[in-house]
Amino acid sequence: MAAALAGYRSTWRPSLIDGYVLRSLARPAVGVLGVTLIAFLLEQTLRLIRELSANGAHLGFLPGLITNLVPYHLGLALPASFFIAMFIVVARMDEDSEIDAIMAGGVSFERMVAPLVFVGVILGILSILLTGYLQPYSRFAYRAMRNAALDAGWTAQIEPQVFMSAGPDFTITADEVDASGRNMKGVFIRRITPTGETLVTATSGRLGLRPDGKTTELTLSGGVLYEDGPHGDPRVLRFGNVTDFETLGGAQKLDPRGVGDAQELTLPELVRELTRRDALIPHAVLESELLSRLTRSFAVPFLPFLALPLAMAAKRGRRAPGMIVGAVALVAFHHGVTLAKNFGGNGKAPPLLILGTVFLVFVGFCLWMFFSSRKRPGETPISGLFMRVEGFFERRSKVKPTAMQSRGGLSLTGYMSRIFAVRTAVAAGALLGLLQLIDLLERTNDILHRGGAIEILRYLALRLPDMFQQIAGFAVLAGALFTFNQLAATSEMVAMRATGLSLYQIFRRALPVALSVAALDLVVAETLAPRAEQALTTWWNASAPAAQKKEPEPHWFRIGGDLVVAKGSTADGRTLTGLTIYQRDGDLALMRRMTAQSATPEVGGWKMRDAVVTDVGPQRAVVTAGGDVHWPTSLSAGDAARLFSDSSDISSANAIKALKGTEPLNRAPAEFQTRIQRTIAQGFAPLIMLLLALPAALGHTRSNRTLPVIFGLGGGLFYLVVDGLLTAMGQTGVLPPAAAAWGAPVAFGCGALSILLYAEG
Question: What 3-state class would DSSP assign to 378?
Answer: coil
Does 716 map to a domain? yes
Separation between Cα atoms, residue 390 and residue 381, nearest integer Å: 16
Half-sphere exposure of 279 (CA within 13 A, CB side): 21
Q: Which residues contact 736 (CB under 8 A, 6 or more apart)?
A: 730
DSSP states along 447-509 = HHTTT-TTHHHHHHHHHHHHHHHHHHHHHHHHHHHHHHHHHHHTTHHHHHHHTT--HHHHHHH
Q: What is the pLDDT of residue 10?
A: 47
Predicted pLDDT of residue 760: 65
265 inside domain: no
Please indicate, yes or no, if residue 724 is contained in any of the structural domains.
Answer: yes
Q: What are phi and psi of 582, to 5 degrees?
A: -115, 125
Q: Which of 129-133, 161-165, 301-305, 525-529 has the lowest mean pLDDT?
A: 161-165
In a domain, 152, yes or no: no
287 is a domain residue: no
pLDDT at 11 over 60: no
pLDDT: which is higher, 387 or 735 = 735
Residues in contact with 396: Cβ distance below 8 Å, sequence separation at least 6, in sequence order: none
Query: Rounded mean pLDDT of 362-373?
Result: 87
Who contacts 618 (Cβ-Cβ below 8 Å, separation ≥6)?
236, 238
Q: Identify the pLDDT of residue 318.
A: 55
Helix, strand, coil percentages for the chain (3-state, nearest 5): 60, 15, 25
Q: How far apart are CA 416 and CA 513, in angstroms?
A: 10
Answer yes or no: is 104 within a domain.
no
Q: How many domains would you assign to the chain?
A: 2
User: What's the pLDDT score for residue 596?
Assistant: 93
Q: How confident is the model at residue 402 (pLDDT cuts 50, 70, 90)?
A: very low
Which of the residue ranges 52-66, 383-397, 527-541 has the most confident prediction, judged by mean pLDDT?
A: 527-541
Higher pLDDT, 200 or 435: 200
Helix (H) or strand (E) holding 240: strand 235-247
The residue-averaged pLDDT of 617-632 equals 87
Contact 716, 722 (CB under 8 A): no
Q: What percent of the chain has pLDDT over 70?
A: 83
Residue 182 has a pLDDT of 76
Q: Which one-letter amino acid corresponds to residue 31?
A: G
pLDDT at 344: 86
The span from the first CA to the last CA of the chain, in angstroms, equals: 41
Selected residue with higher pLDDT from 234 and 182:
234
Residue 401: band (very low, low, confident or very high) from pLDDT cuts 50, 70, 90: very low
Say yes or no to pLDDT of 499 above 70.
yes
Query: What is residue 103's predicted lDDT score, i.e. its pLDDT?
Result: 73
Given a cut of 50, whether residue 591 has pLDDT beyond it is: yes
In a domain, residue 277? The reply is no
**Is pLDDT at 593 greater than 90 in this prediction?**
yes
Domain end point (choices 247, 281, 310): 247
Residue 346 burial by CB count (10 A; 0-12/13-18/19+): exposed, middle or buried?
A: middle
Q: Does residue 710 form part of some domain?
A: yes
Q: Which of 165-174, 190-199, 708-717 has the highest mean pLDDT?
A: 190-199
DSSP output for 583-641: EE-TTS-EEEEEEEEEEEEETTEEEEET-EEEEE-SS-EEEEESS-EEEE----HHHHH
The band of 247, judged by pLDDT with boundaries at 50, 70 and 90, is low
Average pLDDT over all residues of the chain: 80
- Which band of pLDDT confidence, cut at 50, 70 and 90, is reported for residue 153? low
Domain range holding 169?
164-247
Q: How far apart are CA 440 and CA 461, in angstroms?
A: 12
* Domain's final residue, options 247, 278, 311: 247
Task: Round to whole Å and give the CA distance between 536 and 574.
Answer: 19
Domain termination residue (choose one: 215, 247, 279): 247
In this predicted structure, what is the pLDDT of residue 403? 41
Say if residue 206's pLDDT is above 80: yes
